[in-house]
Amino acid sequence: MSALESLSWGITYPPALDFGQQLSREQLLNSMQMTMSRHEGGPVWLFAYGSLIWRPECQSVERQRARVHGYHRGLYLWSHEHRGTPETPGLVFGLDRGGSCSGFAYRLEDSNLDESLMALWQREMPYPAYRPHWLSCRLDDGSKVQALGFVLERHLPCYAGNLPDTLLSQILASAKGRYGTTKDYVEQTLNALRSHQMPDRNLEARFRRCHNLHEPIRG
């Protein structure tokens, strides 16, 4: 795909991506230990807002629908492996500042907590694109818990931000990586949210809108 310049947005596609080197196991362990040192104690909860809803990484002993305030879900992170390639990058979800986000909270099993967390870090943090953060999370039963979530790092080149519909439409039509297309990834997440009676109506409306943009973008 040839380079595309969106004059009104100042965006070039494909972008010049530099994810840096993958984090070593020691770096992942240090990140995990620093994050856990900020935990207030008690059960460890994980907030799932994207693929962790329909493809969880860790064994859990409890799952509840949940919501966090102050962050929202968006297709704001470039993907050059899982849902795209360096030549045709795709997008994956991340938590960004503002609004609120529905999802699931998983209470992780204590007996194999370290193994579960390392598997989670290896999946979510191969590159330092996210910042592990403890979120204030309201569960479906009305209680509040401190839940681990992965928040976007806006200052890094892998942060795509809120792209225009014309570009998002092109990415949904073409980006494919090791685990499939960006389009399938979005559809699976929307279907999972809808099936549990917590649809993301803004994301669904945008997904439909981008499907209606049939005219391909030409470089």
Active site residue 5: no
| Amino acid of residue 161 | G
Place of tokens 């938590």: 95
Q: Kindly give, in sequence order, each residue whose CB lies less than 8 Å from that of residue 7, ignoring residues fewer than 6 positions away.
A: none
Listed in order, strand segments (DSSP E) in 80-170 are: 90-108, 130-139, 144-152
Q: Both tokens of residue 33?
A: 């230990």
Question: What is the token pair recorded at 30?
Answer: 């240090």
| Cβ atoms of residues 94 and 152 within 8 Å | yes
* 3-state secondary structure (DSSP) of residue 58: coil
- Alpha carbons 149 and 49: distance in angstroms, whole number: 9
Chain CA centroid to CA 214, Å:
26
| Spatial separation of the C-alpha atoms in residues 38 and 36, rounded to whole Å | 5
Q: Which of 124, 153, 187, 215 is catalytic?
A: 124
Residue positions annotated with a catalytic role: 124
